[in-house]
Amino acid sequence: MSSFIEAIENITPEIYENLKLAVELGKWHDGRRLTPEQRELCLQAMIAWEAKNLPEDQRTGYMGEQACRSKSKTVPNILFSSESETLH
C-alpha cells in the first residue's frame, strides 16, 4: 500500500490530467486501450490525488448540496385529516 501512496505523492497536475483523459476516453494518449484493471487503478489514483489537492466541489463524483425530497415538500398528513381534506 505504501507504494500506491508514494505514487500518488509523485503525481503532477499534468500526470493527473493524462490519467483523467485516459479514464474518460478508455485509452492512453497513444491510442492503446486501457484494460479494466488499468482503468480501475487510474480512477483510484485520480480520486486519491483529488482528495489531497482539490477542493471538494472540484473532485470526481461531487454532487453538490443534496436535500432529502421528503423534507423539501409539504406532504399532507392524511392520517389525521378530516374527511373533507382527504383525496378520496
* pLDDT tens-digit series, residues 12-42: 999 999 999 999 999 999 999 999 999 999 9
- Residue 18 has, within 13 A of its CA and on its CB side, a CA count of 9
Does any domain span residue 29? yes
Does any domain span residue 68? no
Does any domain span residue 69? no
Does any domain span residue 65? no
Considering only residues 72 and 54, tell me which one the structure prediction assigns the higher pLDDT: 54
SS3 of the chain: the string is CHHHHHHHHCCCHHHHHHHHHHHHHCECCCCCECCHHHHHHHHHHHHHHHHHHCCHHHCCCCCCCCCCHHHHCCCCCCCCCCHHHCCC
**What residues make up the domain containing 10?**
2-55
Does any domain span residue 30? yes
Does any domain span residue 75? no
Over range 46-75, report the average pLDDT.
76
pTM of the model: 0.65
| Total domains in the fold of the chain | 1
Does any domain span residue 63? no
